[in-house]
Structure 1
């Protein structure tokens, strides 16, 4: 395939998903592509004890998609991508964590939230509503939930519009030794509540790649009637790849449903080739003083208690944390081994610190098919209560605060 100095958002998406099909060299083409990834997943520390299940998305979320391009001449090309998730164990487009609708105790106990015990029924009702939203694509069940966009590659960059990966997420995926694969990925450590915006809808993105530099800038419209700033997202990333090393960073900031500045992430990372593999490290920040999705709690609860309960959940869902990652990945013939350590320092009053570490192994049966094994340990401290999942599903919540969790997974992945 002919090399290009400009890159589209589709190419950037490959940084977070390792298996996009190659384009057929033609004036115009449409390609069917995807990943089928399924295996046995065992997780400990849940309320029901240890759970073993068949799960889709051990290493990467299973998906199928269509992508196309048309050469327009003069350095211009039209492109599109439509990508849908699929759960190989059920055939659905959504899933739930093994812990179901359970939320951490710190979000389901009135006294832990600074409220009198008499408020417990109201807290339970709101926590149940939050728990009902846990899962991958569980609420909306949109067909093309993963990606859906169209764009134009030009001599001065690529412009794409639709549902896309955010720049901050792409930066984090670049410097994660696991490249977001499996329960050992850094993002697994911050899945409940959500601490990174992976994809966003209604997004316009400009991307360019030249002289080793890959850069993007994104503006996503919230499209809330009467409030142009509500749900809006801004993001950017810059990565430089040199001979045997890379450095870069990314930034996302998103408003909540009433237009206040909400979830914001900053990422700095670097990697260097050492010996037979690559050593990667990353530092990230999480900040959210105005959590999304809480503005309707007062009306839901009703009465004078509504405002107090809403304020309590607003405080409980605020985020202020730092993340750190270090890992080493090496490939020798058909064998790929990755070891990694991740840690989160929670700076809120909850002090829900946690870390994870482990090893992942892949054996390539061919260029498209591999066998995988993963062992990951989650250490939950203080009020932390998180269980490991996989690339395609959430792990959910452990039985109690401070309960640790171990994940053992074996799977097969096929790319087409």
Structure 2
């Protein structure tokens, strides 16, 4: 009898232990995007090119996200997201396994979310969605060299992020990214942003600063992930969009300032200035107007114009070129998860010359800068979401 009672007690305890995770509210979701198309660029160096290219309207990716109820409205959450090139199978974001996002944290409906890992900055979280490239168009519609990171050229490593819950239409958040080095401020970053949404109105603003971005392999913005490599980066801006019926219109202003920039991720090993010239600072002011019209439930068209004022201050003098960017897009849904789209982007550099690589037009996503001050890209693509 004693043996039977003991066996029953052990069986009950084991069953209770195994049942605990099953009774807890947990979920894990596998998701992804595959974006593949054909690009024509009229001027890459000194020739034109037709190419298969992956991840433009949205970066091709797959990921895992999950949460677990901890009780009292508190959840444990995580997200792991991998970026890849469909044509070669290579990893994106500098060869990282989960280069797009990788974080874990806690979420509470009344208090907000606190997460730790590789994450987006506040410009991407709040301001980017008021731009065409950060909302519905993607890489080709980025501001020159994605100087303000509204197209998410880089992520922040070693990052602590707080996101508030929505409060009467208002939401805010911020990040702090550690250098993970004895030089505490060497390649650290921090950002803050917020947005207000009411009916069809969205107003957003954000600020981002990084010290020595792109310097080293272990800081907030590493060398193989950076937009610009510089002594300091400051980005701030604001945007507004308004949706009325089937139409959405937006205006965005961003200001990007780089102190002693020495390189750019899009340009690779190409130096920003000729030998013997020191670039003291590089500043971009971007003024964007964009619009989108939903012709039917399955078809929309969109347009964008960006006027960029560049301030180039070097040891051989200072000049102020201007950059004009025009974009058009049409997107047709074949189903809830599959669509086809066509895009075109034109860029022209005008005004003062810097006598550097920056005098040549260069649309983000193309293979190389133009050999002139003009460049055109046309893309036809299919996108599938799962």
Fold conserved between structures, TM > 0.5: yes
- For the Cα contact (< 8 Å) 2:302–2:330, is it kept in 1? yes
Structure 1: gaps of 5 or more residues? 1-25, 95-136, 295-308
| TM-score normalised by structure 1 residue count | 0.72
| TM-score normalised by structure 2 residue count | 0.78
Residue of structure 2 equivalent to 1:362: 331
Per-residue CA deviations over 1:163-200 (Å, capped at 9, x if unaligned) read: 0111012233211134353344234x224797976411
Indicate which of 181, 193, 218 corresponds to 2:175. Answer: 218
Indicate which of 395, 400, 403 corresponds to 2:366. Answer: 395
Q: Does 1:164 align with 2:119?
A: yes
Alpha carbons of 1:81 and 1:385: their partners in 2 closer, same or farther (altered >3 Å)? same
Alpha carbons of 1:161 and 1:59: their partners in 2 closer, same or farther (altered >3 Å)? same
Q: Does 1:337 align with 2:301?
A: yes
Which deviates more, 210-219 or 347-356? 347-356
Q: Does 1:152 align with 2:123?
A: no
Alpha carbons of 1:197 and 1:233: their partners in 2 closer, same or farther (altered >3 Å)? farther
The structure whose RCO (Cα within 8 Å, separation 6+) is larger is: 1
Query: Number of residues paired by the alignment?
Result: 325
How far is the alpha carbon of 1:312 from its aligned partner?
3.4
Q: Does 1:321 align with 2:284?
A: yes
Residue of structure 2 equivalent to 1:78: 76
Indicate which of 65, 89, 92 corresponds to 1:91. Answer: 89
Q: Which has the larger radius of gyration?
A: 2
Q: How does 1:17-416 map to 2 (within 5 A)?
A: 27-94=25-92, 137=93, 140-154=94-108, 155-180=110-135, 181-187=137-143, 189-191=144-146, 198-208=154-164, 209-224=166-181, 226-256=182-212, 257=215, 262-291=232-261, 312-315=277-280, 318-331=281-294, 332-348=296-312, 349=318, 351-381=320-350, 382=353, 383-389=358-364, 394-400=365-371, 402-416=372-386
Structure 2: gaps of 5 or more residues? 1-23, 220-229, 265-273, 313-317
- For the Cα contact (< 8 Å) 1:371–1:413, is it kept in 2? yes
RMSD: 2.6
- For the Cα contact (< 8 Å) 1:262–1:292, is it kept in 2? no
How far is the alpha carbon of 1:157 from its aligned partner?
1.1
How far is the alpha carbon of 1:350 from its aligned partner?
5.0
Counterpart Cα distance in 2 of 1:85 and 1:48: 31
Counterpart Cα distance in 2 of 1:412 and 1:223: 41
